[in-house]
């Protein structure tokens, strides 16, 4: 038994099955006490390894997505922002909108929780092993401009187009010149009716012509973004300042 046990440990180490090594003794005890078959014992033992691999895969997916923080839906204070339909946000986390290749646009003034909600949906997607990537609009534009200068724009566009869910944050915070607007349009056009995109913006759609400094391109972008989209218009106080506001309310 000892030689067989040692050989088994040696084999598991060679195969780098660390969870099976960790849980080997307790699984053997469980097998003996419950008269499990060999197959049942092997299933129980391999489940430990699979569970850990899935946990690590989720961590990897979340890391690759480049989220600015790891705030989830459960961390959002819906009571502070009553204009937001909590059930609707929870429905987004089922990822049905991704299956339908639909978009989401979070519209509202600075600090109302747009990025938090967009990220929380992204984390839900990454946890379900859906390829997801988060990027601020200005960084996206800079990356596309750089790729164009280096004659690798097509490859860069394909890179951003491949994600099942792309989150583009802070559209409208910085102006985008007409040439850069064309780069942005190319990406939106590539993803149109093929993949889902979440956008956050502080600018109403009428002002997008000014943001992109080309009303025609702005309309083409909006046409593709909004064709299959849910727009969440958040009306309320700054979510970032809610703790300060609550303190002031208690004082008064």
The DSSP code for 206 is G
Cα distance from N-terminal residue to C-terminal residue, the chain: 75
Q: Does pLDDT of 239 surpass 70?
A: no
pLDDT tens digits, residue range 109-140? 988 999 999 999 999 999 898 999 999 999 99
pLDDT of residue 62: 83
* Residue 13 parent element (H or E): helix 2-14
- Give the other-Cβ count within 10 Å of 2's Cβ: 6
pLDDT of residue 245: 46
pLDDT tens digits, residue range 154-179? 999 999 999 999 999 999 998 899 99
Q: HSE of 212 in the Cβ direction (CA atoms, 13 Å)? A: 25
**CA–CA distances in Å: residue 5 to residues 17, 28, 79:** 15, 11, 57
Q: Which of 130, 115, 241 is nearest to 196 (CA)?
A: 130
What whole-number percentage of the chain has pLDDT above 70?
A: 94
Rama region for 72: left / alpha / beta (φ>0; ψ in -120 to 50; rest) = beta
pLDDT of residue 240: 61
Name which residue leads in pLDDT, 127 or 102. Answer: 102
Question: Which segments of 23-169 does DSSP mark as H helices, in order?
Answer: 24-34, 38-64, 86-92, 96-99, 114-127, 137-149, 153-161
Considering the domain 73-243, what is its CATH architecture? 3-Layer(aba) Sandwich (3.40)
pLDDT tens digits, residue range 169-206? 999 998 899 999 999 999 999 999 999 999 999 999 99
Where do the domains of the chain lie? Answer: 2-64, 73-243
């Amino acid at each position: 038994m000892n030689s067989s046990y040692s050989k088994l440990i040696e084999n598991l180490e060679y195969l780098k099955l660390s969870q099976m090594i960790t849980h080997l003794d307790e699984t053997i005890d469980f097998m003996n006490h419950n008269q499990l078959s060999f197959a049942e014992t092997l299933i129980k033992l391999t489940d430990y390894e699979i569970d850990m691999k899935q946990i690590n895969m989720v961590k990897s997916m979340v890391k690759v997505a480049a989220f600015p923080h790891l705030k989830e839906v459960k961390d959002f204070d819906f009571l502070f922002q009553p204009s937001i339909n909590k059930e609707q946000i929870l429905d987004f986390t089922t990822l049905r909108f991704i299956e339908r290749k639909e978009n989401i646009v979070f519209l509202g003034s600075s600090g109302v929780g747009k990025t938090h909600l967009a990220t929380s949906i992204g984390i839900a997607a990454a946890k379900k092993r859906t390829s997801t990537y988060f990027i601020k609009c200005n960084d996206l534009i800079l990356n596309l401009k750089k790729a164009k200068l280096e004659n690798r724009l097509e490859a860069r566009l394909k890179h951003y187009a491949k994600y099942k869910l792309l989150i583009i944050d802070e559209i409208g915070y910085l102006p985008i010149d007409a040439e850069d607007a064309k780069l942005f349009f190319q990406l939106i056009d590539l993803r149109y009716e093929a993949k889902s995109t979440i956008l956050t913006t502080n600018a109403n759609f009428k002002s997008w012509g000014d943001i992109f400094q080309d009303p025609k391109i702005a309309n083409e972008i909006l046409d593709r973004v909004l064709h299959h989209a849910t727009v969440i218009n958040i009306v309320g106080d700054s979510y970032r300042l809610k703790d300060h506001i609550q303190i002031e309310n208690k004082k008064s």
